Amino acid sequence: MSEPLVVAPNLKRRLSGVTATVVRLIPVQARMIAIRATGPGLPPDVPHIPLARAVLMPRDRWRVWHARRNTEMALGLILRRVLRRKYRLLFTSAAQRRHTGFTKWLIRQQDAVVATSDKAAGHLDRPATVVMHGVDTAIFQPPADKAALRRELGLDPDAVLVGCFGRVRAQKGVDLLVRAGLRLLPDRPRAQIVFTGRVTPDNRAFADGLLAEIRAAGLQNRIRFLGELPWDRVVRHYQALDLFAAPARWEGFGLTPLEAMACGVPTVAARVGAYESLIRDGVTGSLVPPDDGDALTGALRRWLDEDAARILAGQAARAHVTAHHAIEGEARALVAIYRDLLARP
């Protein structure tokens, strides 16, 4: 294997939004430029190199170190300034909040900065190129036979199935969706809700409280927490849905609505993160104010009760993502930035 021109570190073992970005993007970019990921826990199909090899890269030419976390920016600085490796430093920022002093300092040391949305760019103290995330529409696509897929996954083939994927915590608005379900499901016998995602120890009491509310309502068989699933099973669960919900109270970018819509699933989401740029309100789903349980319940009610409209919105969602948010566009935009950095004297 030849030495890469671009190294994309992933210094976190567990699945996160950043890790998901690296896992889905690197194979597409590898068709355009010599790029490798590095770090623990990467799937074998992602082009990658051991971290030790990335640290000891030959000094024969400049390469790009594309960081997405503070730890990765800091390591890039160590590689260049202490170990004298010839890395151009690039950072992608998704955060829509004020950065700490240390983060601001790290960002100032970068040779270039990418933001995943205009809002994220507005929280940076320096110019940034906006490159929105995309999804692989060959992986995230409607299933050939949704009923058969559901039976394979142990899901009800006749249900109107709502999904919410991500870590189980208040930030994701999981409690808002549970309580909307408690209001809506008793009068809608076909409706069910499934959550996937890890419950960390600090959120165990939060999750247990919601489970207690669900049991008290007798809906434990219709509002279910499936836990953390392998990535391929997460994709298949997207494909099994009729409706997706992303009621986060705040978000950096938020990739899950795109992944759902690519599978032909309309999405109800809060107006946080990049969701307003991704969802066509009333066409591919609905947008509601953040932390507004009544508005969330109303939007879900509409899509649960109107089967024909929900199906049309799913078709529109797939077409919208394919036309405007395919991963190839994101990959090409980033590769253009890599080439510009590599061409600098």
Domains by residue range for the chain, with CATH = 6-134+326-343 (3.40.50.2000), 146-324 (3.40.50.2000)
Instruction: Express each pLDDT in 253-277 by its tens digit.
Output: 888 999 999 999 999 999 998 899 8
d(CA 257, CA 132): 13
Q: Do residues 185 and 178 touch, judged by C-beta distance below 8 A?
A: no
Model pLDDT for residues 44-73, shown as the tens digit of each residue? 889 999 999 999 999 999 999 999 999 999
84 sits in the region (left: phi over 0; alpha: psi -120 to 50; else beta) called: left
**By mean pLDDT, which of 2-16, 175-189, 192-206 is the weakest?**
2-16
User: Above pLDDT 90, what percent of the chain?
Assistant: 85
**C-alpha Rg value of the chain to the nearest Å:** 21
CB of 63 closer than 8 Å to CB of 338: no
C-alpha span between 54 and 123 (Å, rounded)? 30
Q: How far apart are CA 108 and CA 101, in angstroms?
A: 11
- Amino acid 1: pLDDT: 53
CA 243 centroid distance within chain? 17
Q: What is the pLDDT of residues 75-98, one digit of tens each?
A: 999 999 999 999 999 999 987 778
DSSP calls for 301-337: HHHHH-HHHHHHHHHHHHHHHHHH-BHHHHHHHHHHH
Quick: pLDDT tens for 316-327. 999 999 999 999
Whether the per-residue pLDDT at 313 is higher than 80: the answer is yes
Confidence band for 15, pLDDT divided at 50, 70 and 90: low
Give the separation between CA 286 and CA 247, rounded to whole angstroms.
Answer: 11
Average pLDDT over the chain reads 94
pLDDT at 292 over 90: yes
